[in-house]
Each structure stands twice: as C-alpha cells, then as structure tokens.
Amino acid sequence: MFPFRTVTVTPRLPGEIRRLRELAYNLYFSWNNCVVDLFKAINQDLWEEVYHNPVHFLLRVNEADLQRAAASEQFLNQYRQAVDSFDIYMQKKTWYDKYIERAGATGHQVSETPDNSGGDRLNIAGGNSLVAYFSAEFGLHESYPTYSGGLGLLAGDHCKAASDLGLPFVGVGLLYKHGYFTQLINREGRQEAHYHYQNFSKLPITLALDSSGRELVVTVELPGRQVQARIWQIKVGRINILFLDADLPVNSHEDRELTGQLYGGDQETRIGQEILLGMGGVKALRALGLAPTVWHINEGHAAFLQVERLREFVEDKGLPVGVALEALRADSLFTTHTPVPAGHDVFSPEMIDRYFSYLYQRLGLTREQFLQLAYDDARGGFNMTLLALNHCGFCNGVSKLHGAVSRSMFHYLYPNIPLEEVPIGHVTNGVHTLTWLAPEMRKLFNKHLGEEWKDCASSVAPDWHRVDDIPDHELWEVHMELKEKMVHFARRHVAQQRVRNHETLERVKEVENYLRPGVLTIGFARRFATYKRAGLLFRDKYRLASLVNNSERPVQFIFAGKAHPADQPGQDLIEFIYDMAAEDRFRGKIVFLENYDINISRYLLQGVDVWLNTPRRPMEASGTSGMKAAVNGVLNCSVLDGWWPEAYNGNNGFAVGEDWDFPDDDARDQHDFYSLYSLLEKVIVPAYYDQTDGMPGKWVSWMKESVKTIAPHFSTRRMVLEYARNYYLQADQRNQIFSADGYQVCSELCQLKYFLREHWNHIRIIGVEASCAESMHPEEKLRVRATVELGPVPRDNVCVEIVYGEVTRRGLQSINTLPLHEEGTAGSAGQVIYSGDVSLPQGTFGYTVRVRPYSPNFAHHFELPLVCWALSL
Ligand SMILES: *Cc1c(COP(=O)(O)O)cnc(C)c1O
C-alpha cells in the first residue's frame, strides 16, 4: 500500500457549548445520561448512527446542528446542568480523600484494614500511592469492543468505581485495531465473525506525548527483534487507562497485528500480546513517570508484568534475584477468574526459551530456574496463572464459591496445609450500578430514594430499603415501558439481520409480530461457552412447546451470545437454537439476537422479566449480568453457581438445582433440567400471570426484594472498597516497608525463607498434654501444653498454635487457631514448652497442635508453605 498522511476536519464548536468536546472525551458519559441526552438533543439519528460514540458524533455532526443547539435556551440549560454535574463529580471529596485525611490526622494507617497485620506501626504514604490495574480486556462502552465477556465488563466497571471512590488508580491494557469480533448470523444460522477496523481518531482516546510533543513509545523484546508500541490514554471519570498499540510502521506486519484483535491468532500471537501487555505495560507506566505502589493482575494474561518488574529490580536496582522476588510479591495482587482449564494460558518450555532466553542470564537465573517461576507439571509448561499465583503476595477468586473452588484447584501447591487455609481469598464481583440502570428506573429511584442514593463517591451504600416506598404500580409501569422498548428493539434488530441476509420481504415483515410485551419474557444472553448450557431448556422440546404455546399463560424466550471463533461446539449450539427458533411452533416466541454486546445487553437485562442462567456448577466463577438485571427489577432464575448462592434468599429470584456437586455431568444436567422446568411450570408462570388490574402483585414484591437485597451488595462500590480495604491498602503499606533502606526487608525475608526451608525438617512436636481427657463443660477451658523441638530455628520465626474445628469425614473443618505461649524450656536442649487455654462452645471438636513459620512481614500465614503437625496425640 502506498503511504499517506491523515488530516482530520471537524466542525467548530460554538463557544457557548465549548466543553462538549471535554465531555465527549471522558467515559463519564457512559454512566451519566445527562451527557448522552445532550448529543441526542443535537441529532438523535446521528447518535444512533455513530453507535452512541460522542467523539465520532462530533466528527460527523453538521455545524448548523451545533449552532441551532447553542442558540436554544432549553439546550443551554441542559448543557449547563451536564457540565455542572461533571464538574461536581470531578471535584467532589471522595471516600479515599476522607480516608487520607483521617490517616494524615493520626499519622497512622486507620482501621480500614480488617486484617491488621501490624497495621499500626506504619505511616501511610497517601500522596505517592498508586494502584496499577492490568487487564487484557476493558469493557467500557459499546462503541469500542475491547471485551469478549464478563472479564472485560468487570474490568470496565472496576475502573468506573475506582474513579467514583477517588482511588489513585491507573488501568493498563492493549488497544486492539479490530477489537473483538462482530457476530453476524447468516441465513443458515451459522455465526460469521467479522473484524471491523477501528479508526482511533473516532474514539475518546488521546496519544501520550513526551514534553516536546512527540509520541511516547515503549519497546519490548521478542525473538530476534524489538517491537515498539505507542500509548493511548482514555479518561474514565477521574482515572486514566493506558492502552498500548503496536500498529506502527516501524514494526513488521506480523508485529503490527499483535494489537490486531482480542484473543485472536495462535500461541505465538498470544505470548506476544501478553508480553506486550505485561512487560510493555510496566514500561508504559515508567515512560509516563508513574510509579505504582500496588500492582493488580486481573487474570493471568497480564502476569508477565512480574517478569519485567523482576528485570527492573535485578538490572536497574541491582538486587539479587531472590531479594527481587520478595519485592515483587510484597505489593502485588492477583485475581483469578475462571476454573475452566482453557482460561489458563500455558506456554511450552521451548516457546519460553525462544521468548525469554535472552533474559535468563541477565536475571541471574538458569533456564530451569526461570521455568520454575511458573512451571505446571500437569500441563508440562509455563502457566500464566501460576506465574501470578507464585509471585503475588495476595490472591483472590471472584465469589465465595469460586474462592473455595480456586483453593481446591491450587491446594497441591500447599501440601499438608488444610484446604480452607490455602491463601486464596475472594472478593465477590459487582456491577457499576449507574452504568447498567435504565434511565427510566433511575428517574423512578430519584423520585423515591432521595437524590443522595446515587452519591457514588461515598463508601456508604444508599438506603435501598426505600425501594419499598415506590408504589407497586409505578415500578410495574416503568418495567413494562422498558419491556416494550426492548421488544421493539429486538424486532428491529432481527428485521435488519434478515434484510442483510437477503431474506424474503415476508420473512422481514413477519418480525412485526414477534415477541409480545404482555407475555412472560425470559432472557438468556451470555458467551456461548458450552459449560453455560444454553441448550438445557431444549432437552425436552415438547415440554418447551407447551410452555411457549400455552394459550392463557404463554412464555417467550430471547437468546443472544457469541461463541469464540475457535469454539466449534459453541457455534453449533448457536445454530441449533437458531434452527429451533425457526420451527413453526417456536417462531416469534423464541428469538435469537445476533451480536451480543453492551448495547444489546442493556436492552435485554432492563427489559425482560426473568434472567436465566444455567451454568454447570461450579464452572461459573461469578457471573455479573444477573446483578445488572436485578438492579432493574428483573428476577434472576439461576443455578446456584458463582455469585447466586451468596445472593439468593428465597424471595429475590429463583434457584435452579442444588447447591452441591454431582458426580457426573449427565446426572447434573438431567437434574437441573427437571428443576428448571418444575420452577417454570409451578412457580414462575403462575406467579407472573396472577395479575389484578394488569399487575402481578406477588411478582412486584419479589422485584422489590431483588433490588433491595442485590443492588447494595453486588455493586462495584462494595467490590472496589473490599479490594481497597483487604488488599490495596495493605499492599501499599508493604510497598513502603519493603522498599525502605535499599530493600532491607526483602533481603531479610529472602534469607529467612531460605533458612527455614533448609532447617524446617528439624522441627518436631514431641508431646501434647491436655487438661481434660474427653469431655468438659462450656465454662471450663481446655489447657494445652506442647513440647516442641525447634532445632536451629529461632523461636521468633515460628508460631506454635492449637488448631481446632469440626470433625468431618474429611478431617477437621471450619478451623480456628489460637497461638500458644512459650512457657519455658524443657529438660533436653533445644526443646521448648508452649501452652495456652481455649474456650470451646458446646459440641464435639477435634484439636491438634502445629508449628508454622512466622514473620511479621509475611502477607499471610502460609506465605511459606511449611507446617509441622503433632504426629501423635
Ligand atoms: C455483563 C456482561 C457480560 C458478563 O455477564 P455474565 O453473567 O458473566 O454472562 C458479558 N457480556 C456483556 C455484554 C455484558 O454486559
């Protein structure tokens, strides 16, 4: 192709509405309808044409339209209100500001951290703190598809809440020239993946420049070459996300494609992308002069950031590699997002050699040592999840259940340590409420919940109980309005698809009669990964047909979802449902919408009656779409997987199946299928159609219960606060302590770990005596004395504790621990006696004594996975 220059010609913005450009360049618009309404007021058709993208809008709009708006008093009022709300948002004192004030006043970390492992002795950095959040996907808005599903949407919502709460925060990702694919369904029901070229000048992003106005560029090493990338920035309220872009003429064609598409290409593309994201991401932060004090790895794709940091510590700071590894751990957090094996990237040792052998020696590591940073014996390669897990001080899953599932997945890394003490916690996902709430619902809440309900800068959740003050019929009317909007949208969407597919006029027209607003409507929209079981409903087509075609109490279904282009079974499932929807008995009553994205998702989860979720437990780590549905008064009907067991209370939705796991998939599928149909036929359909004056009273009470119980807890406000309080603040403190005096603490910790590993096998619990034999009364205390041989291990470096819990088939569970105190030395040298008293509630308990390594600088009890249990009791 011949070379060319580009030039952009944009209409002049009248002075009165000058700040429209600023509003367009901040994703604030994506959760504030007052800004969106401005663009709609200028030219509604154009707003739809540019797919709700304000920057593209300003490139396309006629100057005359802008002048007309600037001359309208009504518009100017609207404009001033929007600008005011934006300014207030940007300047408002946030939770974090107040936190820093309190910390500053006392000179100490204040009690935000529930687990205060030595919190008191530390000064808070405040001004220098910065959380860097790395993610391969960010789902921020429909106008730019940098997401494939839940992971990306969660990252986008995380950033929005970090902005709301005023956290010092920066996101790091990749800017994909084609984003994720657009899904078109052809006449045969096959999915076609189309990649659209994204013209970056139409996106709300700007290039990062150096002080002399030149593009900042970072360079990463790939086999036999260097690849350069420039840095784009996107503003999300108060925070920025940096996006790397390798589409530069200096790079080869293949390298320019590294930021071609999300999750595209082969293993080579994949590792290149991940190196660019992780290592390039660190360099991008440095290029901008940013020095994060907390590093958050959102899913394993970004874990190479730890390799770049290792290189920095070793090469730039001159730390020995063992000390550097401690420095990495100190302030980093890893969030794992899926128990599905395909979600964990593994690269072969040969590949790692090709991409990293240049570094081995520079890091002071042998090939084997480098591979050992993340070696996965079972899969025979370098596992990105293990890279993160092994080298982050903090790790978490994304729901209570997923935390437990992750602990069992990685229990093997912690031999002899009870499953429940595997150091992987959980922070249950949430959603950014204002992004997902329908404007109509928002208006209703404004009216009945008081204005302060949407104050998102505060750590206090609004009083959602005031949902009870909303008159039933008002809530129902808004719901029906949203449902009608959704039905019209769905009809238009299917009609457009048929026109594009050159279907007959009759087939296009027929869509007018599809889906009726009065009919109970069930939505199922998600990625078409097979474990999500989109086909569960179709296991008995006769039963489905009688549900759908019931003359008095019919049901209709809307499906949407993309299957990854490499996922054949997922695509087959789409075709299957598409074929079903074409059968006479289901036509117009089961509808599949192509190209599931944020826009469609909003319409569906604001406008259906029931949101259906049928994953094969426990494969769904959390799920978030149901939370978005719930804030809009849509009832969840879900398998007890992911977030749902935490939310379901018997009156705020419906639970499919049981909360335990089946021995095999077929049994589980069959069981869930029966459960689903029985719920639909016996509970959901009757309740929906039990209407007086066109309103189902019981149903509306469930809707309110659902909003009240789900909106406050399953929000990113609660979620990001939990990340901040449980992890970020601690990691930030640790960053200070560990980096002081030339990384002194890291050296000590490194030596201590080495010493303890060497000498742990000398430790033995010689005897345990207890004050009572088999039974005692609740007011008595159990006195325990243990004689321990420590060998060369100093007393300061161990914790001797009693461990007690419920006696179960699998040993002790629901474990409690209580440290024993040193009582003195025993007869022979090196033996120490420890003792302590435990109060036990009524019941039967098992107890034992153990020794574990201890240092005040450990992030958690099993930072060093060593333990010595009493052998005979
Ligand atoms: C919320 C959302 C998701 C994730 O929801 P799940 O419950 O995990 O399926 C995926 N895609 C879109 C477009 C969403 O809005």
The pLDDT tens digits of the residues spanning 51-86 come to 999 999 999 999 999 999 999 999 999 999 999 999
**For ligand 1, mutation pick of 601, 619, 622, 715 (most atoms within 8 Å of CB):** 601
Instruction: Tell me, in angstroms, the distance from the centre of ligand 1 to residue 234's CA.
Output: 22
Instruction: Tell me, in angstroms, the distance from the centre of ligand 1 to residue 524's CA.
Output: 11
Q: Name the residue with the closest Cα to ligand 1, atom 9.
A: 526
Average pLDDT over residues 4-31: 93
pLDDT at 816 over 70: yes
What atom of ligand 1 comes closest to residue 628's alpha carbon? Answer: 1
Rounded Cα distance between 241 and 852, Å, is 41
Confidence of residue 118 (pLDDT cuts 50, 70, 90): very low
Instruction: Tell me, in angstroms, the distance from the centre of ligand 1 to residue 523's CA.
Output: 12
Q: Which fold has domain 439-714?
A: Rossmann fold (3.40.50)
**For ligand 1, mutation pick of 30, 31, 147, 153 (most atoms within 8 Å of CB):** 153
CA angle 362, 134, 251 (to 5 degrees): 60
Instruction: Tell me, in angstroms, the distance from the centre of ligand 1 to residue 110's CA.
Output: 36
Instruction: Tell me, in angstroms, the distance from the centre of ligand 1 to residue 148's CA.
Output: 9
What atom of ligand 1 comes closest to residue 605's alpha carbon? Answer: 15
- Report whether residue 623 contacts ligand 1, using a CB cutoff of 6 Å: yes
For residue 873, what pLDDT is reported?
72
Instruction: Tell me, in angstroms, the distance from the centre of ligand 1 to residue 11's CA.
Output: 37
Look at 115 and 402; give whichever has higher pLDDT.
Answer: 402
**pLDDT tens digits for 486-520?**
999 999 999 999 999 999 999 999 999 999 999 99
Instruction: Tell me, in angstroms, the distance from the centre of ligand 1 to residue 704's CA.
Output: 23
Average pLDDT over residues 855-872: 95
Rounded Cα distance between 604 and 502, Å, is 26
Confidence of residue 36 (pLDDT cuts 50, 70, 90): very high
Instruction: Tell me, in angstroms, the distance from the centre of ligand 1 to residue 290's CA.
Output: 32
- Report whether residue 672 contacts ligand 1, using a CB cutoff of 6 Å: no
Phi, psi of 389 (to 5 degrees): -60, -40
Instruction: Tell me, in angstroms, the distance from the centre of ligand 1 to residue 310's CA.
Output: 35
What atom of ligand 1 comes closest to residue 622's alpha carbon? Answer: 8
Average pLDDT score over the chain:
94
For residue 2, what pLDDT is reported?
82
Q: Name the residue with the closest Cα to ligand 1, atom 4.
A: 150
Average pLDDT over residues 733-749: 97
**For ligand 1, mutation pick of 624, 628, 710 (most atoms within 8 Å of CB):** 624
For residue 124, what pLDDT is reported?
44
Contact 787, 765 (CB under 8 A): yes
For residue 10, what pLDDT is reported?
86
Instruction: Tell me, in angstroms, the distance from the centre of ligand 1 to residue 625's CA.
Output: 5
Give the residue ranges of DSSP H helices in 264-399.
Answer: 267-275, 281-287, 305-311, 321-330, 349-363, 367-372, 384-390
Instruction: Tell me, in angstroms, the distance from the centre of ligand 1 to residue 263's CA.
Output: 17
Instruction: Tell me, in angstroms, the distance from the centre of ligand 1 to residue 739's CA.
Output: 40
Rounded Cα distance between 533 and 570, Å, is 10
Phi, psi of 492 (to 5 degrees): -60, -40
Instruction: Tell me, in angstroms, the distance from the centre of ligand 1 to residue 69's CA.
Output: 36
Instruction: Tell me, in angstroms, the distance from the centre of ligand 1 to residue 149's CA.
Output: 5
Report the percent of the chain where pLDDT is more than 90.
88
**pLDDT tens digits for 159-182?**
999 999 999 999 999 999 999 999
Rounded Cα distance between 480 and 490, Å, is 15
What atom of ligand 1 comes closest to residue 626's alpha carbon? Answer: 7
For residue 125, what pLDDT is reported?
46
pLDDT at 113 over 70: no
For residue 107, what pLDDT is reported?
61
pLDDT at 119 over 50: no
**For ligand 1, mutation pick of 558, 625, 628, 641 (most atoms within 8 Å of CB):** 625
CATH dotted code for 95-426: 3.40.50.2000
- Report whether residue 149 contacts ligand 1, using a CB cutoff of 6 Å: yes
Instruction: Tell me, in angstroms, the distance from the centre of ligand 1 to residue 863's CA.
Output: 34
For residue 775, what pLDDT is reported?
84
pLDDT at 123 over 50: no
- Report whether residue 601 contacts ligand 1, using a CB cutoff of 6 Å: yes
Q: Name the residue with the closest Cα to ligand 1, atom 5.
A: 625
Instruction: Tell me, in angstroms, the distance from the centre of ligand 1 to residue 264's CA.
Output: 20
What atom of ligand 1 comes closest to residue 620's alpha carbon? Answer: 8
Instruction: Tell me, in angstroms, the distance from the centre of ligand 1 to residue 639's CA.
Output: 16
- Report whether residue 153 contacts ligand 1, using a CB cutoff of 6 Å: yes
Confidence of residue 6 (pLDDT cuts 50, 70, 90): confident
pLDDT at 458 over 60: yes
What atom of ligand 1 comes closest to residue 431's alpha carbon? Answer: 1
For residue 298, what pLDDT is reported?
98
Instruction: Tell me, in angstroms, the distance from the centre of ligand 1 to residue 865's CA.
Output: 36
Average pLDDT over residues 476-483: 98
- Report whether residue 251 contacts ligand 1, using a CB cutoff of 6 Å: no
CA angle 618, 620, 626 (to 5 degrees): 125
Q: Which of 118-122, 148-152, 779-783 has the lowest mean pLDDT?
A: 118-122
Contact 540, 673 (CB under 8 A): yes
For residue 111, what pLDDT is reported?
52
State the residue for tokens 């589980």.
668
C-alpha distances out from residue 44 to 37, 48, 55, 489, 496, Å: 9, 7, 15, 16, 19
Q: Are strands 239-245 and 182-185 parallel, antiparallel or unpaired?
A: unpaired
- Report whether residue 642 contacts ligand 1, using a CB cutoff of 6 Å: no
What atom of ligand 1 comes closest to residue 526's alpha carbon? Answer: 9
With a CB cutoff of 8 Å and minimum separation 6, the contacts of 80 are: none
Confidence of residue 110 (pLDDT cuts 50, 70, 90): low
- Report whether residue 630 contacts ligand 1, using a CB cutoff of 6 Å: no
Region of residue 134 (left: phi > 0; alpha: psi -120 to 50; beta: else): beta
Contact 314, 321 (CB under 8 A): yes
For residue 108, what pLDDT is reported?
59
Query: Is the N-terminal amide bond of 618 cis, ω within 30° of 0?
Result: yes
What atom of ligand 1 comes closest to residue 436's alpha carbon? Answer: 15
Q: Name the residue with the closest Cα to ligand 1, atom 8.
A: 623
CATH 2.60.40 fits 763-869, yes or no: yes
Look at 827 and 208; give whichever has higher pLDDT.
Answer: 208
For residue 7, what pLDDT is reported?
85
For residue 105, what pLDDT is reported?
72
One-letter amino acid of 562: K
Instruction: Tell me, in angstroms, the distance from the centre of ligand 1 to residue 150's CA.
Output: 4
What atom of ligand 1 comes closest to residue 527's alpha carbon? Answer: 9
Q: Name the residue with the closest Cα to ligand 1, atom 11.
A: 149
- Report whether residue 597 contacts ligand 1, using a CB cutoff of 6 Å: yes
**pLDDT tens digits for 655-695?**
999 998 888 999 999 999 999 999 999 999 999 999 999 99
What is the crossing angle of helices 150-165 and 716-723, to 10°? 80
- The sheet with strand 868-869 has its strands ordered as 811-819, 798-808, 845-853, 868-869
- Report whether residue 150 contacts ligand 1, using a CB cutoff of 6 Å: yes
Give the total residue count for the chain: 873
- Report whether residue 628 contacts ligand 1, using a CB cutoff of 6 Å: yes
Contact 493, 531 (CB under 8 A): no
With a CB cutoff of 8 Å and minimum separation 6, the contacts of 845 are: 804, 805, 806, 807
For residue 29, what pLDDT is reported?
98
Instruction: Tell me, in angstroms, the distance from the centre of ligand 1 to residue 25's CA.
Output: 25
- Report whether residue 624 contacts ligand 1, using a CB cutoff of 6 Å: yes
Residues of the chain with CATH 2.60.40: 763-869
Rounded Cα distance between 464 and 449, Å, is 7
Give the HSE-up count for residue 235: Cα atoms under 13 Å, Cβ half-sphere.
17
What atom of ligand 1 comes closest to residue 150's alpha carbon? Answer: 4
Residues of the chain with CATH 3.40.50.2000: 95-426, 439-714
Average pLDDT over residues 806-813: 91
Q: Name the residue with the closest Cα to ligand 1, atom 1.
A: 625
Instruction: Tell me, in angstroms, the distance from the centre of ligand 1 to residue 127's CA.
Output: 35
pLDDT at 572 over 90: yes
**pLDDT tens digits for 622-653?**
999 999 999 999 999 999 999 999 999 999 99
Structural tokens at position 492:
């238009």
